[in-house]
Each structure stands twice: as C-alpha cells, then as structure tokens.
Amino acid sequence: MEYRMEHDSMGEIKVPASHCWGAQTQRSLENFNIGAETMPSEVIHAFVILKRAAAEANYRMKKLEEGRKNAIVEVCESILQGEYPEEFPLKVWQTGSGTQSNMNVNEVIAHIGNARYPGLGLHPNDHVNMSQSSNDTFPTAMNIAARLEIVKRLLPALDCMIAVCRQLEAENKDVIKIGRTHLQDAVPLRFSQEISGWRGMLEANRTMLTQSSKSLLSLAIGGTAVGTGLNCPEGFDEVCAEYISRLTGESFLPAENKFHALTSKDSFVFVHGALKALAANLMKIANDIRWLASGPRCGLGEIHIPENEPGSSIMPGKVNPTQCEAVTMIAAQVMGNDAAIGFAASQGNFELNVFMPVIAYNLLQSVRLLTDGINSFTKNCLSGLKANKEKMAYYLNRSLMMVTCLTPEIGYENAAAVAQKALRENITLKEAVLALGLLTEEEYEAKVRPEKMV
C-alpha cells in the first residue's frame, strides 16, 4: 500500500494514499480499533449538510472568501450525491464529543477541494470548520440526522401500515368474533373493532413521534466549545440554520440556550421514548397476530397470514409467523437502545455531554429498524391477513361469556351458575339456561344475539 504524509498539531502520520482523509482521521482509526460499528451514514450525511450551510453562512458574513466557499459547497454536493462513501470509516466508539468524526468530514472536504483546485489552500480547521466546534457541530448533526430519518422514512412507513389497517377494518366490518381478556374468553366484538385498536395505537404513536421530534429542530450550532459562541460571529447560528432548513426542507432554528444544547441530550430521550412506545405497540400487534394465526389445526387459527417460506428444517410443511418474530425482535432491540440512551443522556458533565456517538448510533438504529421492520411486516404479513370466519364463528358459539348479555335479565349470580353448569357438564349455554329453568328457548334466542353485543 502506498502512503502519503499528513500532519496535524501533534506531528506527522502516514495516511493511505488512496484515501482523502487526513491526520486526525488516521489517528482515530489507529487508536480506536473497537468493535464493528461505524459512525452512521445518516450522521455523516447531516454533517455534510451542516458544512455546506456553514460555508454559505461564513461567506455571507464575509469571513470566508468566495473561492473556498464554492469549493466546499461543490465537494459537499458531491458527497451528498453518494460519492466518496469509503472516506468515512471511523468507529462509534471514539471520543464522546464526536470530534474525530467532525474532523474526518472536515479533512475529506478539504482534501477533495484542494485536489480539484490546486493552490486553493483549503484547511480543514481554518476554513471547513470555520465558526464551529465539534462540541456544537456533532449535536447539530445528530439532530438533523434524527429528524430527517423520522420524518422522511419512519412516518411514511407508519402511514402505510395505518392505511392497511383501515383497509382490513373495511373488509372485516361484518365479522364478529369472541374477545379475550387475561388470555381467557370474553364478550364478542367485531374483528374490525379489534383491528381498529391496532390502528389507534399506531396513530397515537405517530402523534407522539411528530410532537417529540419537533424538539430536534433546535440546533446547537453557534455555541462552539462551551456554549458561549467563542470565535463565532454574531448571527452565524441563525444564518446557518436558515441554510440547513433550505437544504433539508425542515424548519431548523438555533437553540435559544446553547449551554443546554451542548450539555443535555434530553430531546433524544424524549424522542426515543416515542420510538419505544411504538416498539411496545408493534410487539403487541405482532403477538396478537401470531396468536390468532396459531395452528393451523391445534391453535386458535382465527386468521390466516401469508405463508412466505418453509418454517422448519426437519418438519415438512411447517410454516411459521416469521414476520411477527422479526418485528418482536426489533422491539426488544429498541427497548434495549432506550436504556442505553437514557443512561448516556444522564452523563452530561459540566458544559458537555460526551456520550453523543452512542446516543446517535442507538437512536438512528432504532429508527432504521422500526422503519424497515414496519415496511417488511406491512408488505409480507399484514396486507395479506385474512379472517378465518368459520373458526371465529365456532369459538363465538361455544363461548361461555356470551352469558354476560343475560345478566340484566336473570342476574349476575344466576348467569354465573349458567356458565359454571355449561362448563362443568360440557353443554351449551342454552342447554344450561333451559335446564335451570331461567328462560324459555324463545326468550333465550331473543336475548343472546352476538350482533347486538358489539
């Protein structure tokens, strides 16, 4: 491998000649060879948006000359278009401020700019990082990345799942089945009503995500090292946020209190709480579906779900609710991520939180997994769900809890006696009622009408 010599304030270091990063990136690669988790591409993308916006803001404020501004903007646009993905190799497990990833982006932009425009003298700190610090750029990039992923990827996936639930409600509005509480038989309901419960959960989660993710619109940029804005011209934060908003289509604003923005990550705890709530509801929905589909002959079997692949390497013909299993594993991972984020956010010491890379990594992983999981589940399971009307009717007619509708007529204790007799003697409710002489057959038939109980 061929190398070139790069230098930083600590001296010279060899860098692979085929790459565009500089000395600080190389030092991080050598000093933090930890794990396989690299800085999320969403964070890098957000960083590049920020660097482009900062160059525009610095030029408008007459701090950065036009040639260097144009070079930074041009290189940023190339990276945003998908070029140079191999130039951002740093691990999550690095400095807790994300300084090395900030410098990785700065060095790559400067190197490419200088290669395109020899003699430009573009410097990673003096020009690409002008008016900035890692301490305000990393939290800014975190916010941008999280907001964009939630709004542009997760919410559309959620909307699609909600739409499929609505379609299933319409298809099953006349289907009546037995309800269950405590895993035991309960009174009847329409299958469409059961599905509407799933939809209501998802709609509530959408509202939670929409509201909580607004806190990510407040950016730390302009706070520089400790929140005072040292080496940053007055008004830079507003101009930079304006350019970021133009580039993203989101209404980003500078944080009113930069000291809060640098040292606290409460917005990520808030947002991930909504992600955890979504995970909890997805766990419930997936579990409902796999229980209802259990069988095909020795389970509940009230619904059919798509048969996508063989389920066993030893049992021929077996098909499993694999999409449900994937979603429930995702939910477990998101709940674990929430614990890590909550603890990491509590570790803001004095003027800076130094657990930012792990917070960003876990939140973005949660968003990515939830988005992909919802898309897969909606396409490969939920959209193909069909009611087994015969099995639903069978359970409905055998349920002892249908006796509940007789309580106003014969009283709670008599109704309980009917249910107990029917269960004990393995007879129908009607047979038990008639045997106890509580109602005539005509009276029973008039009262026990499932369609009037839902």
- Residue 312 φ then ψ, to 5°: -145, 145
The conformational region for residue 35 under phi > 0 = left, psi -120 to 50 = alpha, else beta, is left
For the beta carbon of residue 246, count every other beta carbon within 10 angstroms.
13
The tokens describing 156, both together, are: 């559309």
DSSP 13: E
| 312 has catalytic annotation | yes
Half-sphere exposure of 274 (CA within 13 A, CB side): 24
- Residue 301 φ then ψ, to 5°: 60, 30
Residue 428, SS3 per DSSP? coil
Q: Are 24 and 134 in contact (CB under 8 A)?
A: no
Q: Tell me how far apart the 2 most distant CA atoms of the chain are, in Å.
A: 103
The tokens describing 310, both together, are: 């063989």
Q: From CA 235, how far away is CA 400, in angstroms rounded?
A: 72
The conformational region for residue 103 under phi > 0 = left, psi -120 to 50 = alpha, else beta, is alpha
Given 182, 218, 313, 399, the catalytic residue = 182
| 182 has catalytic annotation | yes
For the beta carbon of residue 224, count every other beta carbon within 10 angstroms.
23
Given 18, 41, 251, 312, the catalytic residue = 312
Q: Are 33 and 91 in contact (CB under 8 A)?
A: yes
Q: From CA 342, how far away is CA 359, in angstroms rounded?
A: 9
Q: Is the dihedral of CA 34, 36, 37, 38 positive or negative?
A: positive
Closest by CA to 189, choosing from 437, 399, 408, is 399
The residue ranges of DSSP E strands in 17-74, in sequence order, are none
Active site residues: 182, 312
